[in-house]
A and B are shown apart, each in its own frame.
Chain A
């Protein structure tokens, strides 16, 4: 079982736009390693006759009919938004330094 490296944690943090300190990188690398290790134990019990699966239940084709129903009002939708402008969610600058 390969260990999770600090570089991998730094990469994930960047993809998630999380600013982690050096100390946190080491801290989470160790924690993630334990978590991955725990999940990996599944592979130990899965023998060759058990195919990999993504879903626990043997169900397929669960759909809803194409019917519209009431949405939230803009007030409800925006109620918990940290910032609002013109009935839209206001978010911080997306591309800054790359301009």
Chain B
């Protein structure tokens, strides 16, 4: 097996070829119980504690569909502008693999619950419409661990051990139509699509969409065709793409890999490839040239799903405000530019800024701190804004302290540093670190006297009318007060003491 690939640099690959991408996303629904039985769905439970005769496929056990899962799937379909089927069935997808104890997965085949929708995503200042082919409901598989062999991979393992806690958790599969014309933005479009989809799921409250826990998983299809061609090339499907950044990297890497093969006169093998989070490279998995034969047929143990138009309309009318609409509204309310809004969106800061504004401070201040000091700190520690140990309410408090004159920006940054370091609330940090602006005239006056006597030359210059020299004296006061003096007031007092007026 080869693990190194010859690649063509991205720019060159894009000069010669046009990519067509497609995404298949699986979302585990956040229901209380599994799709076809009452086992709980909590993540991280000890192995085989959330299993029963239905999800273990013990003889005679029969599935019954979870009403919440059906409802959630319809809501997802509606949010993605899909048509909801008036009548459809589950289907058996037959395959022999130990992660499914029945030897088939209950899925949907030619009658998905939702079809023909779209999701608009914004990339590089333009809106790209990603068309949705279908949204269907199925059950998740168990989790296998491969034992023996060098790397814990399935290849070369001696045997495998299986935990069926995840088997039967409701899983929604969302498949896009092939996306053409994205050109060199293909990797960004793929990432923006998954990001937007995740936000829609969050807004609907149907899933916790944690990529790192596998409740949102993404398979990325990529093919290349020579510039000017209208015939799509052979595609590969990259699985195991477990972060938003990886979605982008996987498309980028696959374009570079395929371009090198095609330019060399080779052909692309239609196959499943595995993405490696550490290196960003992909390696081949099972080849799809030996066509899979799933022998789908209607699931006889489950009755057809026939949502009434009234129910669908009721669900449609109850949909929450969707992310793009919400962002447009907030942008108008905050009066920020497209560029600033996109920057906030990309930094996952919109909800944080919104919460900070709701805590009672102007949008401009909320945005300034989240996108400035806090974004810098998140960047430094390689995390995201949302996981910084500071709340929108705490940011709002800091903004209020600055607005009241109790802090200046420099001190405010120290307060944030203290809060992030776990020293308590902003007020506690101000207290413990003694960060309040020196507004006590007596204390400020005595600091100024010391600075003036230590800088007699500068003081003389100011006395003789060179007011510009006051800057050095104010600087001295700020230094002596360790940043806690009110610079404006200090300047006034210095000029007063030196008998100069502007």
Contacts and interface: CB of A to CB of B under 8 A. Distances in A.
Interface of A: 11, 15-17, 54-55, 57, 59-69, 71-74, 77-78, 85-95, 98-99
B400 to A, nearest CB: 43
A89 B305 contact: no
A61 B305 contact: yes
Given A64-B38, A66-B68, A71-B39, A55 B304 contact: yes
Contacts of B157: 93-95
Contacts of B278: none
Contacts of A71: 39-40, 49-52
Interface in B91-113: 94-98, 103
B32 A66 contact: yes
**Interface-centre pick from B47, B70, B103, B286 (highest chain A CB count, 10 A):** B47
**Leading 9 A-B pairs by shortest Cβ distance:** A66-B68, A54-B298, A88-B161, A63-B67, A69-B38, A99-B155, A60-B306, A68-B40, A91-B98
A86 B147 CA distance: 12
A30 B314 CA distance: 55
B39 A95 contact: no
B162 interface: yes
**Majority SS of interface residues in chain B?**
loop
A63 B70 contact: yes
B303 A61 contact: yes
Contacts of A68: 32-33, 38-41
Contacts of A78: 48
A57 B96 CA distance: 30
Interface in B132-185: 144-147, 154-164
A67 to B, nearest CB: 6
B32 A93 contact: no
Contacts of A87: 46-48, 163
A93 B51 CA distance: 23
A7 to B, nearest CB: 13
A16 to B, nearest CB: 6
B6 to A, nearest CB: 23
Contacts of A72: 51-53, 56
Interface string B2-36: 00000000000000000000000000000111000
Given A54-B89, A64-B65, A87-B47, 15 more contacts: A62-B65, A65-B68, A66-B67, A68-B39, A71-B40, A72-B52, A72-B53, A73-B49, A77-B56, A90-B160, A90-B162, A95-B154, A95-B155, A98-B286, A99-B156
A98 to B, nearest CB: 7
Interface string B286-314: 10000001010110100111110000000
14 contacts: A54-B89, A54-B304, A60-B87, A60-B306, A61-B304, A66-B68, A68-B38, A72-B53, A88-B162, A91-B144, A91-B160, A94-B98, A95-B155, A99-B155
B64 interface: yes
A8 B91 CA distance: 22
Given A15-B96, A60-B303, A94 B144 contact: yes
A60 B50 contact: no
Contacts of B53: 72
A62 B155 contact: no
B69 interface: yes
B66 interface: yes
Nearest to A18: B96
A94 B68 contact: no
A92 B96 CA distance: 13
A54 B306 CA distance: 15
A67 B33 contact: yes
Contacts of B300: 54-55
A89 B33 contact: no
Nearest to A61: B306
B31 A98 contact: no
A66 B39 CA distance: 10
Contact of B31 (A16, A66, A77, A93): A66
Contacts of A57: 303
Contacts of A62: 64-65, 303
Contacts of A17: 96
A17 B41 CA distance: 31
A86 B303 contact: no
A95 to B, nearest CB: 5
B228 to A, nearest CB: 38
Contacts of A89: 48, 98, 161-164
Contacts of B33: 66-69
A65 B1 CA distance: 48
Contacts of A92: 159
A65 to B, nearest CB: 6
Nearest to A62: B303
Contact of A77 (B48, B64, B297): B48
Contact of B97 (A59, A65, A94): A94
A60 B70 CA distance: 13
A94 B1 CA distance: 18
A33 to B, nearest CB: 18
Nearest to B91: A54
